[in-house]
Amino acid sequence: MSYKLNYRPVDGSAYLRCNQVLIDNTLNKAPVVRYTQERVISDSGSVSKIPAGTIVREFDPDALITVINPETGDPVLSESGEPQTVTQETVMAYVYSAYIDAVTTATGDEEMETQS
């Protein structure tokens, strides 16, 4: 079938983006991170978003992540000019800290019980 109803060429752009990050932090298991993607298509003033799948990664505390500038897509460089990296463990510590900040701010409880 080659007929296309109301076919018209369009000017625009298309790109892939992550629209949701889910950290599944199941008790007594390594966390799993799910990155849900969508394809964004812009043409003649309208924008369409189409689900484009999910990437799943198991937490590896020693794995290195290159820090990317979200505005440019370029690696963030260290003072020595090398791409800056962080471990997944560091990222998880930041996420955990953001969670604790959100919980204590929402509840007004500055002291939370923690176990070592």
Question: Do 40 and 20 fall into the same domain?
Answer: yes
**DSSP states of 50-72:** EEEEEEEEE--TT-EEE-B-TTT
Contact 39, 14 (CB under 8 A): yes
* Structural tokens at position 105: 């701010």
Regarding whether 95 and 85 lie in a shared domain, the answer is yes
The reported pLDDT for the residue numbered 90 is 97
* DSSP string covering 56-116: EEE--TT-EEE-B-TTT-PBPB-TTSSBPEEEHHHHHHHHHHHHHHHHHHHH---------
Confidence of residue 111 (pLDDT cuts 50, 70, 90): low
Which position has the higher pLDDT, 9 or 81?
Answer: 81
Tell me, yes or no, whether 17 and 50 share the same domain: yes
Q: What is the pTM of this model?
A: 0.76
Q: What mean pLDDT value characterizes the chain?
A: 89
**Is residue 94 located within the same domain as residue 55?**
no
User: Do 75 and 104 share a structural domain?
Assistant: yes
Q: Is residue 74 part of a domain?
A: yes
Share of the chain above pLDDT 70, in %: 91
Asked, for residue 29, whether it belongs to a domain, the answer is yes
Q: Each residue of 1-54: pLDDT tens digit?
A: 677 777 777 788 999 999 999 999 999 999 999 999 999 999 888 999 999 999
Does 3 map to a domain?
no
Cα 6 from chain centroid (whole Å)? 37
In angstroms, rounded to a whole number, what is the distance separating the alpha carbons of residues 104 and 22?
A: 21
Tell me which of 70 and 110 has the higher pLDDT: 70
Within a domain: 114: no
User: Are both 84 and 65 inside the same structural domain?
Assistant: yes
**How many structural domains compose the chain?**
2
Same domain? 54 vs 72: no
Q: Which domain holds residue 69?
A: 60-108
